[in-house]
């Protein structure tokens, strides 16, 4: 209830943090699967990293773009 008066303040402070948390969860699951089936001949670790970092870049660019607004709260 503390922040119920100003939901926009939460958005300014935390931006798309739910998307970031979801992305990290998916990345963790992807790495875990790669680790479970890891062998030097068939490693898919690179695929996990490549796919995830493409998504990391977009989501973190959005997050960083809201920095100015967050510092004004």
Q: Which of 56, 60, 55 is nearest to 16 (CA)?
A: 60
Encoded tokens for 54:
């493409």
pTM of the entire predicted model: 0.66
Q: Quick check: 60 and 24 in contact, CB under 8 A? A: no
Mean pLDDT of 47-72: 83
Cβ within 8 Å of residue 70, ≥6 positions away? 12, 13, 15
* pLDDT single digits (tens) 10-45: 777 888 888 889 999 998 998 888 888 777 777 777
Distance CA 34, CA 36 (A): 6
What are the tokens at 12?
């300014």
Strand stretches in the chain, DSSP E: none
What is the reported pLDDT for 10? 76
């Amino acid at each position: 209830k503390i922040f119920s008066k100003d939901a926009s303040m939460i958005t300014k402070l935390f931006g798309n943090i739910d998307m970031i948390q979801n992305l990290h969860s998916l990345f963790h699951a992807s790495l875990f699967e790669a680790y479970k089936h890891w062998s030097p001949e068939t490693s898919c670790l690179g695929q996990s990293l490549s796919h995830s970092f493409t998504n990391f870049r977009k989501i973190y660019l959005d997050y960083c773009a809201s920095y100015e607004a967050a510092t004004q709260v």
